[in-house]
């Protein structure tokens, strides 16, 4: 018969286990890694990347590179149109415990998005301090006064690329993302043991108070590993990456997914504003004098067709920004990121609104055709009446 264990002994055992886990976590240090803070802006209808490279070299007098995934074969995963990467130089972040140096870079996507990244190198920090620094960086780049940080960087990009921005627009939509990267720990770790050795919840949530078990499970739900010693954990606005080989392909994939979300949000809001305007224009056209109605309906139909063509062209560019064919691991991460960021949901909303505009275009075209037919019938009747009158007069 098994001896019953008193509750007091169980509590003491649990407490001891928690203390052991805390000691094991404090003993681990991130010996090499980085904190990446992203801010993405929708700046134009499109960007001429070739002209942007030439303008940047002429005005800023520094080089640029075309983005590609570093370790994945191009036939497996590749950019539809490789973005242009620009170096913006070092900057200083103001943190509560003192200034912190970071390196700023930018990427230009042909569908009109500029992604600016701040990279803070990390070395020799305990896991707890690494988490605290990541949260401090997040607060420094997310506060309202952080516009003083991002706006000059974006202005530098705008000035450097010159007239490469096609139909530029004010940046009213933004997306941000935060990534903690660990390339090496003070001792080797396997991916399956890492969540048990390290508390990832404060890093993934930014919360200081303990979370419920359900919330913890939800935060750790999107976990992916390919080798035994790498790990990717995704959330809505943050990610943790353990990558001993220093590969940046997962980081690039997450950036593209955020850029797609930003652009789909822009077209969703554009069509939200266009639909009421379209209804008002259709109603105003119908209220006017009916005789030249065919021309007005045709003009309005052409305007709607132009909107549909432009949005369809750009959304296809966004959908093809990254082409995943053979790399199953990156494909899983890319699909999970798109789903987590709700890109398919926003894209479906854009498609529904485009369908409404297409149906309206078809109805207007039919109405214009009907108006022309009615006008021709009236002209024929008038001619017949004129002929009859002339015959009677003679």
Same domain, 322 and 375: yes
Domain range enclosing 161: 28-247
Contacts with 153 (C-beta within 8 Å, 6 or more apart), sequence order: 88, 91, 104, 106, 116
Q: 10 Å Cβ neighbour count for 74?
A: 12
Q: Are residues 166 and 88 in the same domain?
A: yes
Distance CA 201, CA 216 (A): 7
Separation CA 389–CA 284 (nearest Å) = 38
Given a cut of 60, whether residue 42 has pLDDT beyond it is yes
Alpha-carbon gap, residue 385 to 270, rounded angstroms: 51
133 located within any domain: yes
Q: Are 262 and 280 in contact (CB under 8 A)?
A: no
For the segment 300-326, the average pLDDT, to the nearest whole number, is 74
**Ranges 21-30, 162-171, 254-263, most confident:** 254-263
Q: What is the pLDDT of residue 385?
A: 85
Contact assessment for residue 133 and residue 35, using Cβ atoms and an 8 Å cutoff: yes
How far is it, in rounded angstroms, from Cα 146 to Cα 312?
A: 34
Q: How far apart are CA 183 and CA 360, in angstroms?
A: 54
Q: What is the mean pLDDT of residues 195-203?
A: 91
Q: Tell me what pLDDT residue 4 has.
A: 44
Task: Please state the rounded mean pLDDT for residues 304-330.
Answer: 76
Three-class secondary structure assignment of the chain: CCCCCCHHHHHHHHHHHHHHHHHHHHHCEEEEEEEEEEEEEECEEEECHHHHHHHHHHHCCCCEEECCCCCCCCCCEEECCCCEEEEEEEEEEEECCEEEEEEEEEEECCCCEEEEEEEEEECCEEHHHHHHHHHHHHHHHHCHHHHHHHHHHHHHHHHHHHHHEEEECCCCCEEEEEEEEEEEECCCCCCCCHHHHCCCHHHHHCCCCCCCHHHHHHHCCEEECCCCCCEEEECCCEEEEECCCCCCHHHHHHHHHHHHHHHHHHHHHHHHHHHHHHHHHHHHHHHCCCCCHHHHHHHHHHHHHHHHHHHHHHHHHHHCCEEECCCHHHHHHHHHHHHHCCHHHHHHHHHHHHHHHHHHHHHHHHHHHHHHHHHHHHHHHHHHHHHHHHHHHC
In a domain, 243, yes or no: yes
Q: Report how far residue 63's alpha carbon sits from residue 245's, in angstroms, rounded to the nearest whole number.
A: 26
Per-residue pLDDT, 268: 87
Residue 6 scores a pLDDT above 60: no
- Name the CA radius of gyration of the chain, rounded: 29
Could you tell me which residue, 301 or 111, shows the higher pLDDT?
111
Total-model pTM:
0.81
pLDDT category of residue 379 using cuts at 50, 70 and 90: confident
**375, pLDDT greater than 90:** no
Does residue 18 fall inside a structural domain? no
pLDDT interval class at 19 (50, 70, 90): very low
- Among 174-178, 199-203, 205-209, 235-239, whose mean pLDDT is lowest? 205-209
Q: What pLDDT, on a 0 to 100 scale, did the predictor assign at position 360? A: 76
What's the pLDDT score for residue 178? Answer: 97
User: Which of 213, 247, 281 delimits the end of a domain?
Assistant: 247
What is the number of domains present in the chain? Answer: 2
21 belongs to a structural domain:
no
- Residue 1 counted as domain residue: no
Average pLDDT of the residues of the chain: 82
Domain boundary among the residues 203, 225, 247 is at 247
**Residue 282 pLDDT:** 67
Q: Is the pLDDT reported for residue 20 higher than 60?
A: no
- Tell whether 144 and 273 lie within a shared domain: no
Is 365 within a domain?
yes
Residue 60 or residue 152, greater confidence: 152
331 & 233 share domain: no
Pairing of strands 231-234, 238-242: antiparallel
Percent of the chain with pLDDT over 90: 41
**Residue range 327-345: mean pLDDT, rounded:** 90
Q: Is residue 20 part of a domain?
A: no
Mean pLDDT, residues 274-301:
64
> Does 111 lie in the same domain as 225?
yes
**Pair 332, 198 in one domain:** no
Q: What is the mean pLDDT of residues 170-179?
A: 87
pLDDT 10s digits, 65-122: 765 555 555 555 667 788 899 999 999 998 888 899 999 999 999 989 999 999 999 9
pLDDT reading at 165 higher than 80: yes
Asked if residue 150 and residue 65 are part of one domain, the reply reads: yes
Q: Which of 247, 282, 306 is the last residue of a domain?
A: 247
Please indicate, yes or no, whether residues 43 and 192 belong to a single structural domain of this protein: yes
- The verdict on 271 and 230 lying in the same domain is no
Looking at the fold, whether 112 and 180 belong to one and the same domain comes out as yes
Q: Is residue 313 one of the residues assigned to a domain?
A: yes
pLDDT band per the 50, 70, 90 thresholds, residue 286: low
What is the model's pLDDT at position 306? 77
Residues 362 and 231 in one domain: no
* 88 and 196 fall within a common domain: yes
């Amino acid at each position: 018969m098994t001896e019953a264990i008193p509750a007091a002994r169980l509590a003491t055992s649990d407490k001891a286990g928690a203390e052991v886990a805390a000691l094991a976590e404090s003993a681990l240090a991130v010996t090499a890694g980085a904190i990446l803070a992203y801010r993405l802006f929708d700046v134009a209808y499109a960007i001429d990347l070739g002209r942007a490279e030439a303008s940047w070299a002429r005005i800023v007098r520094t080089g640029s590179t075309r983005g590609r995934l570093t370790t994945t074969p191009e036939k497996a995963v590749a950019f539809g149109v490789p973005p242009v990467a620009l170096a913006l130089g070092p900057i200083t972040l103001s943190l509560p415990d003192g200034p912190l140096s970071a390196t700023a870079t930018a990427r230009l996507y042909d569908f009109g998005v500029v992604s600016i990244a701040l990279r803070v190198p990390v070395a020799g920090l305990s896991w707890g301090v690494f988490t605290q620094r990541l949260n401090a960086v997040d607060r420094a780049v997310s506060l309202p006064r952080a516009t003083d940080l991002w706006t000059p960087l974006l202005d530098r990009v705008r000035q450097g690329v010159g007239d490469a921005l096609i139909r530029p627009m004010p940046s009213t939509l933004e997306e941000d993302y935060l990534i903690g990267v660990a390339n090496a720990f003070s001792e080797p770790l396997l991916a399956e043991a890492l969540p048990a050795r390290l508390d990832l919840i404060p890093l993934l949530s930014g919360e200081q108070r303990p979370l419920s078990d359900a919330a913890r499970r939800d935060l750790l739900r999107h976990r992916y590993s390919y080798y035994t010693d790498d790990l990717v954990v995704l959330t809505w606005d943050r990610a943790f990456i353990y990558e001993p080989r220093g590969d940046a392909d997962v980081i690039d994939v997450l950036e593209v997914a955020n850029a797609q979300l930003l652009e789909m949000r822009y077209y969703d809001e554009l069509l939200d504003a266009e639909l009421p305007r379209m209804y008002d224009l259709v109603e105003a056209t119908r209220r006017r004098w009916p005789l030249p109605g065919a021309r007005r309906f045709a003009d309005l139909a052409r305007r709607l067709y132009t909107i549909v063509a432009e949005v369809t062209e750009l959304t296809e560019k966004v959908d093809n920004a990254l082409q995943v064919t053979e790399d199953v691991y990156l494909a899983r991460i890319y699909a999970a990121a798109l789903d987590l960021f709700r890109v398919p949901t926003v894209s479906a909303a854009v498609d529904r609104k485009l369908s409404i505009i297409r149906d309206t275009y078809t109805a207007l075209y039919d109405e214009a055709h009907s108006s022309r037919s009615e006008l021709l019938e009236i002209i024929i009747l008038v001619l017949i009446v004129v002929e009859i009158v002339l015959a009677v007069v003679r």
